[in-house]
Amino acid sequence: MELNAKIPPGPLKDKWSYYKDHAKLVNPANRKKLEVIVVGTGLAGSSAAASLAEMGYKVKSFCFQDSARRAHSVAAQGGVNAAKNYKNDGDSVYRMFYDTIKGGDFRSREANVYRLAECSLALIDQAVAQGVPFGREYGGYLNNRSFGGVQVSRTFYSRGQTGQQLLLGAYQALIRQVAAKTVHLHTRHEMLELVVVEGKARGIIVRNLDTGEIERHSAHAVILATGGFGKIYYLSTLAMGCNASAIWRAHKKGALMASPSWTQIHPTSLPQSGGYQSKLTLMSESLRNDGRIWVPLKKEDPRKPNDIPEQERDYYLERRYPAFGNLAPRDISSRAAKERIDAGFGIGAQKNAVYLDFSKAIREQGKEKIKEKYGNLFSMYQKITDIDAYAEPMMISPAAHFSMGGLWVDYELMTTVPGLFALGEANFADHGANRLGANSLLQACVDGYFVAPYTVSNYLAEEIKTGAIDANRPEFIAAENNAKELLNRLASIKGNKTADYYHKKLGKLLYDHCGLSRNREGLNYAIAEIKKLQEDFYANLAVPGSAQEMNGELEKAGRVADYLEVAQLMCYDALTREESCGAHFREEHQTPEGEALRNDEKFCFVSAWGWNGPDEEPLLVPEPLTFENVNLTVRSYK
Amino acid sequence: MKVFLKIWRQKDAKAEGKLVDYEMDDVIPHMSFLEMMDTLNEKLIVQGEHPVEFDHDCREGICGQCGVMINGRAHGPLKNTTTCQLHMRSFKDGDTIYIEPFRAEAFPVKRDLKVDRSAFDRIIGAGGFVSVNTGQAPEANSIPVTHEMAESAFDSAACIGCGACVATCKNSSAALFTSAKISHLVKLPQGKLEARKRALTMVAQMDRENFGHCSNTEACEVECPQHISVLNIARMNWEFAKAKVLK
Ligand SMILES: Cc1cc2nc3c(=O)[nH]c(=O)nc-3n(C[C@H](O)[C@H](O)[C@H](O)COP(=O)(O)OP(=O)(O)OC[C@H]3O[C@@H](n4cnc5c(N)ncnc54)[C@H](O)[C@@H]3O)c2cc1C
Ligand code: FES
């Protein structure tokens, strides 16, 4: 199998224009005959569904929450990037492109990344027009701030709730179409299967989570915008319901998965405090603009942080990466924290955290200024920990956060199944081996508002004569039976261990062996252990009740069943990539100073993976990456 | 610490519900309230009982999916805090805790503590948006908005749609929710053009959904996790009256 990314011809800066100029169009009269399924109502899904409906297509939209507005995009705090250059600090589309390519450690496609930077301009315009209340300067113009990994100020924000405000803009656009009856919205519905007819994506099987009923839905194209699967680590910054199930079930129907092991471990989350814990709350990275990260110079220093004098503190990011200091990219910051924690300098009850200190900023700018910038984060911190971070430093620690990997897509965001598109965090897309802060809200929006309307239309132009898709075809019935079989199997084991028990075990295995740092031995060990855990799962899982009713435990069990398979693929992915790049740090491949050692000669490609069945090793299909516009350099932030 | 729970159990929308007693003797003060519920559920599952169904997702106070009445207060004893952000250190050893769903005619119970809040989506659908299609937007800086006005619009827009305002109101009014959206949009030049129509259609939808009327008790503001101010309600009334008169 050969992968064709379908990159348009011409110079980098003209590729997207070239594509738009040549994409096939669908006559408005024909659009209402064409149906599109959009799974997911986060930024990617809501924006795609609303935009396609505005164009005149018939759209069906799905999410598992009880309202489209609750998709996990809502939780993004920090901001969204755009190369507007409003600060006159030398920003440009090219510079944003370059920062993103470099931030991703040269493991993403030039053309995709350039398009992302290019479309960032229109996204801010779109959001403002929808009424997104971005932060403003006193003169009335838009303000922005800087974020990790870059030297310009290009991050737009709505206090500490940027994701919420962007999502409300997209949600309102979606709901406007729902009210106009151009979108049929199904909340509390979970996708269980993709239906493929004669090689093309033609529908999905979903479960109504309130009643347990199974439904078939057909369409001319299917878009998956189902978000990230960092929740596979159990403890993560994601929501409880985030999952890999939608993309994984599509993977089993022929869609390749790319770079599944590239998970961003965020440096500034709250540390774990006990085994009962269900999630790790993120403290926005924007805090690193004013907070300084340190640990005591002395191991197991028993003193309170404020009692440790300046000269006995190790500001290890400022020490190791003087050019970027506390704003070093996430992978580097997280690894540096892990290095200190593993070396015995961790702080807090479990010795698993580092300090994030605002005393200097408060001294220089005043408490009021800091409050205005981060007030909601400080109060969130206080709610969770009972500590006043204006008076003493926060305690932070790395946590699983973002999936750079996902379904493989070409330039059109189409997977290897014709008619199946993947948008937002669900695809592997634009972030390479490490995502820059504030680029993924952008990516989700750009995919949905600006890319899908062109590329999905280009695909649908060939479907005008197809006619309605019959959901009684044997392929639909087979897929439905498949879904029911798994549900009934999970509900009938009636063992004595909960889905959460397995999820926690799996999460720990992955965090230890396929997390911030990996090595061959650990990965092989993890694969063997996950297989054992999987056997145990199918023998001893406890799910009360049946599949024919509302059953939250059954939902969890289904997600864990998929995670157990995804986890194995993640380990294979990490095992076969004999280099360190971005978030993927292989201990065998590092410099004497402990920095990542990339191998461009052998690994300048994206690993896409095919499903070979439950007991077979997956099939590796590389997509070579060619760089025509940038030189592959060592990513130095020193 | 040990706590005694009295939890509302109801099999489905039609079934009759009742309070059921549970005891938890291994509660850790650092646990969040929902983690305490997880721990209870783990026990029930292993005993083969159906766990307590409750709504939640982000567990960081922003998605608005969680929300139960705890000892008669929406989201529990703390001010301006969601259920998921409440921790067991807010309770004492030996406490009895009543846990019930958000109650309102417009929020029918689905199962146990889960309620149907889709009425909120329909209120937004009645006009809680700016009618702009993808692609129509002008350059973002072409219309300046003062810092103060942007911040004030944000204060209204911060609503997470959890429904605590309705649950806590003795009239089950959705005035705080509806007014927050009306105010958010009317404060911005982008939303002003449709302000009159929006005030009329959103208020009409709110009435159609069987929410009660606001009688200015201001209880909603106290429970709102995002500190949405009752001044939004005053603004809604003003916008509504203006729209009626000028119609
Ligand atoms: C705590 C946190 C903070 C962040 N902060 C920032 C930031 O400051 N800046 C930034 O750029 N990025 C940030 N990110 C990343 C960014 O928020 C996400 O990458 C982005 O919002 C993903 O959007 P999405 O539309 O792809 O997915 P989501 O918003 O996660 O939406 C997924 C949708 O899919 C639906 N879904 C999932 N599975 C199924 C299924 N099986 N069946 C039916 N429906 C399903 C869900 O219901 C939901 O509607 C942050 C992420 C987190 C977790
Ligand atoms: S679970 Fe999201 S607000 Fe509580």
- CB of A439 within 8 A of CB of A430? yes
For the stretch B175-201, pLDDT in tens is 999 999 999 999 999 999 999 999 999
Residue B105: count other Cβ atoms within 10 Å of its Cβ: 12
**CB-based contact (8 Å) between B193 and chain A?**
no
Neighbouring CB atoms inside 10 A of B193's CB total 12
> How many angstroms separate the CA atoms of A382 and A390, rounded?
10
What domain range is B164 assigned to? 118-246
Q: Are residues B106 and B122 in the same domain?
A: no
Q: How far does the CA of residue A46 sit from the closest CA of chain B (Å)?
A: 12
Is A241 in CB contact (< 8 Å) with chain B? yes
User: What does the H/E/C string look like for A159-172?
Assistant: CCCHHHHHHHHHHH
**Touching check for B105 and chain A: CB below 8 Å?**
no
B104 and B201 part of one domain: no
Do the beta carbons of residue B55 and residue B164 sit within 8 Å?
A: no
- State whether residue A66 sits within 8 Å of chain B by CB: yes
Q: Write down the pLDDT at residue A599.
A: 97
How far, in whole angstroms, is CA A109 from its chain's centroid?
17
CB nearest to B139's CB, from A125, A384, A542: A125
Of A124, A173, A187, the CB nearest to B129: A173
Positive/negative CA dihedral, A458, A460, A112, A258: negative
On whether any CB of chain A is under 8 Å from the CB of B67, the answer is no
Cα torsion through A274, A275, A279, A280, rounded to 10: 40
Q: Express the helix, strand and coil content of chain B in percent, nearest 5 each.
A: 40, 15, 45
User: Best interface-test mutation with B: which of A66, A119, A445 has the largest number of B CBs within 10 A?
Assistant: A66
Collapse the DSSP code of A291 into the 3-class scheme (helix H, G, I; strand E, B; otherwise coil) and give the result.
coil
To which residue do tokens 């028990």 refer? A501
The neighbouring-strand residues paired with A136 are A142
Among A49-63, A79-93, A283-297, the range scoring the smallest mean pLDDT is: A283-297
For residue A407, report the phi and psi dihedrals to the nearest 5 degrees. Answer: -65, 135
Average pLDDT, chain B: 97
Ligand 2 mean position, distance from CA A253 (Å)? 34
Quick check: A149 pLDDT over 70?
A: no
- For residue B62 and ligand 2, the question of a CB distance below 6 A is answered with yes
Equal fold, A267-400 vs A477-603: no
Q: Which of B111, B145, B160 is the last residue of a domain?
A: B111
Residue owning tokens 């916008």:
B239
Label residue A324 by pLDDT band (50, 70, 90).
confident
- The answer, yes or no, to whether residue A637 has pLDDT greater than 80, is no
User: Active-site residue among A31, A145, A292, A330?
Assistant: A330
Closest residue of A to B119, CA-based?
A67
Closest B-chain CA to A385: B30
- Considering only CB atoms, which chain B residues are within 8 Å of A84? 140
Between the CA of A241 and the centroid of ligand 1 the distance, in Å, is 11
Pick the closest to residue A434 from A598, A257, A236 (CA basis). Answer: A598
Residue A470 banded pLDDT, cuts 50, 70, 90: very high
Q: Which of A84, A128, A269, A277 to mutate to test the interface with B (most CBs of B within 10 A)?
A: A128
Please state, rounded to an integer, the average pLDDT across all residues of chain A.
Answer: 95
Considering Cα of A424, then A67, then A176, then B130, what sign does the dihedral take?
A: negative
User: Per the structure block, which two tokens stand in for A98?
Assistant: 């370059």
Query: What confidence tens digit (pLDDT) does each residue in B43-76 have?
Result: 999 999 999 999 999 999 999 999 999 999 999 9
CA torsion through residues A471, A53, A224, A399, sign: negative
**CATH at B168:** 1.10.1060.10
The secondary structure of chain A in percent helix, strand, coil, rounded to multiples of 5, reads: 40, 15, 40
- How close, in Å, is residue A325 to chain B by CA atoms? 29
The pLDDT of residue A376: 80
- Give yes or no: residues B16 and B65 share one domain: yes
Indicate the residue among B70, B88, B111 that finishes a domain: B111
pLDDT band for A178, please (50, 70, 90 cuts): very high
Q: Is B75 in the pocket of ligand 2 (CB under 6 A)?
A: no
Q: Is A577 a catalytic residue?
A: no
Domain boundaries, chain A: 267-400, 477-603
Residue in A304, A39, A385, A109 with CA at minimum distance from that of residue B30: A385
Q: Which CATH architecture group holds A477-603?
A: Up-down Bundle (1.20)
Residue of B24, B37, B42, B45 to mutate for A, most A C-beta atoms under 10 A? B45
| Chain B partners within 8 Å of A234 (Cβ) | none
CATH match of A267-400 with 3.40.50.720: no
Q: Establish how many alpha carbons lie within 13 A of residue B53's alpha carbon, considering only the half-sphere containing its beta carbon.
A: 24
Determine the distance in angstroms separating the CA of A544 from the nearest CA of chain B, rounded to an integer.
Answer: 6
| Of the candidate ranges A364-378, A495-509, A595-609, the one whose mean pLDDT is the lowest | A364-378
pLDDT of residue A69: 98
Tell me the percentage of chain A whose pLDDT exceeds 70: 100
pLDDT at residue A615 in the model: 85
Overall number of domains in chain B: 2
What CATH number did the domain enclosing B66 receive? 3.10.20.30
Instruction: Return all residues near A587 (Cβ < 8 A) that are at least 6 apart.
Output: A517, A518, A519
Q: What is the mean pLDDT of residues A588-616?
A: 94
Residues of chain B in contact with residue A498, where contact means CB-CB under 8 angstroms, are 42, 45-46
For residues A489 and A541, give the distance between their C-alpha atoms in angstroms, rounded to a whole number: 10
Say yes or no to pLDDT of A374 above 90: no
> Using CB atoms and an 8 Å cut-off, which of residues 210-239 of chain B contact chain A?
none
pLDDT class for A150, splitting at 50, 70, 90?
A: confident
B89–A contact, CB cutoff 8 A: yes
Is pLDDT at A105 greater than 80 in this prediction? yes
- Shared domain for B71 and B186, answered yes or no, is no
Residue B206 and residue B100 share a domain: no
B154 touches chain A (CB under 8 A): yes
pLDDT in tens, B115-157: 999 999 999 999 999 999 999 999 999 999 999 999 999 999 9
Least confident of A70-74, A79-83, A147-151, A427-431: A147-151
Instruction: Ligand 1, residue A448: give the atom nearest the CA.
Output: 25
Task: Out of B62, B81, B111, pick the residue that ends a domain.
Answer: B111
Confidence grade of residue A148 (pLDDT, cut at 50, 70, 90): low
In chain A, the residue whose alpha carbon lies closest to the alpha carbon of B183 is A131
pLDDT confidence band for A580 (50 / 70 / 90): very high
Judgement on whether residues B235 and B124 belong to the same structural domain of the protein: yes
Q: Which residue ranges have their beta carbon within 6 Å of ligand 1?
A: A 39-45, 62-65, 71-73, 75-80, 162-163, 190-191, 225-228, 237-238, 243, 245-246, 282, 401-402, 424-426, 438-442, 444
